[in-house]
Structure formats: C-alpha cells, structure tokens
A and B are shown apart, each in its own frame.
Chain A
Amino acid sequence: MSDIKYLETHEWYLINEEVITVGISDFAQNELGDIVYVTLPEVGQTFEKGAPVVEVEATKTVAEAYAPMDCTITEVNSQLETEPETINNDPCGDGWMFKAKVNAVDDSGMSYQEYETFVS
C-alpha cells in the first residue's frame, strides 16, 4: 500500500493494488464548512480522470470531487448519505467517499508535504 496522495482539486486518494479510495482533504472540508448533503455515484459507474464523481453540498457552497484517474466505482460510503458531517469530522478516514477499480494508473498526486506547501 502506498501513501495518501493529494490533487490540486483537493481530493486525496490511496492506491491499494488495483483499487483507489478517494475523499476530500482536511483543507477542503475546512474551506467548505458544514457539509449537509453528498450525492454519491452508483457502483459500476465509470469515470475518466478529472470527471466529477461526487457533489458536496455545504452551507456555504457546493463543490465537486473529481476522479483522480480513470476508474470504475466498486463501493460508496453510504454512511455519508445520513451523516455527511463525517467528512468534516474525519475527512481522510471515516469520511472517505468512494472506492474504485483503477482502469489506468496515474499516481501523479502530491505527497502530504507537497500538498501542504500547495495550499499554504
């Protein structure tokens, strides 16, 4: 298993063999404020890198989380349907959004240190 990596669009992903787990960063949840609703994809849906996968409604604004690489959804975090605030409380843990089978590996995300520099 590799380390968590981050995108400029504020998603994090973790590659484990052929499957990625994706969520949004602590910086992103903090910027959004209280998250009240999440529109999750369906299992089996296929996305190209950069395509919007999840819609995140916060009291302040609405944002999208994008696919870090070409992938097909294998699991969604259904806890977020009833407890979207989990993303605020634990964005990189229990607040994960979806898992997906990678169709074309692109592990070009930033390391934690690089991302910290990027957002500061």
Chain B
Amino acid sequence: MDKRTTQLHSYHESKNAKFIDFGDWSMPFSYEGTLKEHDVVRNSSGFFDVSHMGRLEIDYSELDKISSLICSDLINIPMNKALYSIFTNENGNALDDVIFWKFEDKIILIPNASNAFKIKSHLVDHKVDFIDKSLETVLIAVQGPKTIELINDRFEIPEKFSTAKSDNFMYARTGYTGEDGIEIMASNAEAESLISFLIEKGIKPCGLGSRDTLRLEASLPLYGFELTEDITPVEASLSWTITNEHNFLGSDRIKSQLQDGNHKILKKFTIESRKIARTETIGMSGDIKGVVTSGNFSPILNKSIGFILFENKPPQNLIEFDIRGNLIEGNIVNKRFLS
C-alpha cells in the first residue's frame, strides 16, 4: 500500500529529504543529516513538518466527557493554555499521549499519528463529538532558542505553554525538543507561504531523525516505545500528568499504583561511551531486569542515553547492559538529561 504523505511532500522532495516510513506515513527523516539538524535546533531554529499527527477540533460542550478519558485536569486549566495529557483505558494503560490547546471557543486535540485513528474511534465510542481537521490543515513545529526572535514580527508570541490565534493560524508555545518554540496549525492553502516565511527567516527544515534524538535528550517519551497499551502513566514515570481529581477511565488502578508503589517503572540512563543501547536491549540493575525502550547517542552530552523499563523498582543505579553480547555498564539518572 502506498504510504500517506503530507501536504508539504513535494517541498520535502525538492529539498532532497531522505524519507522514512513511520506507521502509515512516508515522512522526511533528514535533509542535511540528523546531527546537523539536532545542532540547529539546540543553537538556532529549525522547523519540522508534523502534519502526520492528528488535529481534532472539539467544542466545550464535550469537555466533561473528554475529561473522563484522560488523567489530567483539562477542566480547570485556564483558557489559552496548552496541556500534555494521556488517554487511558479501563486498566489505566496509555492509549495515547496528546496535547490539548484550549482556545476561548474550542479545544484542539493533537493525537500521535500512529494513534489518530484509535483516538478518533475511542472518542466515538464515548460519544465525544469532534471535527477532524487533519486533512485540511498542516502542523509545523518551529523549535530552537532563536525561534521567538525570528518569528515575532509575524506571530504574536504567547507565554510558554499557552495558545494564540491569528487570522490564518492557531498555535501554541509548545514543542517536543526541550527548546523554546511554537507549533503552528495552518490551513493547507497557507502551508507553502508559511514555509517560505520560515525559510526566509533562516529557519532550517529538520526531519524525524533529529526530532527523535532531540526528544530523547529532552527526556520526553515517544508513544510506541516508552508508552504503549501495556503501561500506566505511573509506570512511565509520568505521575506529574495525573492531575484529574475526578474519576477517569482506569483511575482506580492508577490511584492504587500511586499508593502501593509496587509496579514496573521507566527510568532514564546514560552510558559513558557512544555505544548505543538500542530498543529491546536487556539491562540488569542487581537482579531486577529491564528492557530498553529507546536508546541513542546524545550529541550534547556526547554519550549514550535512553529509557529503560524495569520489572520493578531497581535496587541500584548501576545497570549492566548486554549490548550484542558485550557487557556494558550504564547508570540510572533521576534528573533530566539536559539541565
């Protein structure tokens, strides 16, 4: 079956992007190299076409119903704020991690590309009305420390984790790289002029390769790796997202896990070399077994980093990885990778 492509596919082709299959999608992996693009976002500004993610418009009349499906308090956060949250199933496991943008007249829900269909079905099952805007819009993430100063002549810049709207765009000061920036939803008709504006400002196109190394370095989970339908937000070390004080799907299990602490647990690790402990690598902390969910090289730290899911609370910080038959030592880190 042919892979789906975004509205900006011919632009990516014209920039000689290397493409990668990502679920149903063929997406740009890199243009000039993952490490170069990583560097651009850490030091200047880059943009990512993330139009493969979903964009669902939801009316405030649906707020209570939506709230009963997620672990965070969407009701009480102020208007014009963005919220990261997790849709849970009846066992408290993660169906998807998503972003909500609250505007005065509506809510925009952004599910992951791989989960967009599942979340839409889930909303239908729970009688939540929505309008799917995915096909008629693009989503562009502009990220990096220089982003704001480069685009503030065209965009009124909201506070961090807040949303804003102009005639042509809805956007929020959010991202997935650990850097400042905004994520912009634009109609298909506006897509090319938006890209031209970014290019004119010297903002470079970046692909999913650097998006992955950037998010990992920023200690952010990726659905399908850190988060699956087999892990709760508590187990994924995302308890900070559990702010919904009402009952929500699977909240009983989540609350009991928060109390008894007896559950598997996701941790971050570093390895003092460039040897990468990739997904599915086994790591032992004493006699507690863990499996790496994501691992890669961190350009900023100049060593290997990753996430590892332990069967239970690891007894020590030292991890012994079996990397293709070689015993390699790493350490659990409790702080973020980047300070």
Which residues on A are within 8 Å of B, measured CB to CB?
Answer: 33-34, 36-37, 39, 55, 57, 59-60, 62, 84-85, 88
B297/A60 in contact, CB under 8 A: no
A33 B276 Cβ-Cβ under 8 A: no
Cα A60 to Cα B273 with chains together (Å)? 17
Q: Which of B237-292 contact A (CB under 8 A)?
A: 273-276, 278
List the B residue with the shortest CB-CB distance to A52. Answer: B324
Binary contact readout B201-214 vs A (1 if CB under 8 angstroms, 0 otherwise): 00000000100010
Do the beta carbons of A59 and B275 come within 8 Å of each other? no
**With A59-B213, A59-B297 in contact, is A34–B276 under 8 Å at CB?**
no
Q: Is B30 an interface residue (CB 8 A)?
A: yes
Contact of B274 among A36, A60, A88 (CB under 8 A): A36
| Residues of chain B within 8 A of A39, CB atoms compared | 275
Compute how far the CA of A33 lies from the CA of B38 in the bound complex, rounded to whole angstroms. Answer: 13
Interface pairs (14), CB distance under 8 Å? A33-B209, A36-B274, A36-B276, A36-B297, A37-B297, A39-B275, A57-B297, A59-B35, A59-B297, A60-B29, A62-B276, A62-B278, A84-B274, A85-B35
Query: Among A37, A59, A62, which residue has its beta carbon within 8 angstroms of that of B209?
Result: A59
**Which residue of the partner chain B has the closest CB to A30?**
B18
| Highest count of chain B CB atoms <10 Å: which of A33, A34, A85 | A34
Whole-angstrom CA separation of A92 from B94 in the bound complex: 47
| Binary A-proximity of B277-317 (CB < 8 A = 1, otherwise 0) | 01000000000000000001100000000000000000000
Q: Chain B's nearest CB lies how many Å from the CB of A35?
A: 10
Contact A34 B274 (CB under 8 A): no
Distance to closest chain A CB from B215 (angstroms): 13
A59–B34 touching, CB < 8 Å: yes
Min distance, Cβ B57 to any Cβ of chain A, angstroms = 35
CB distance from B213 to the nearest CB of A (A): 6
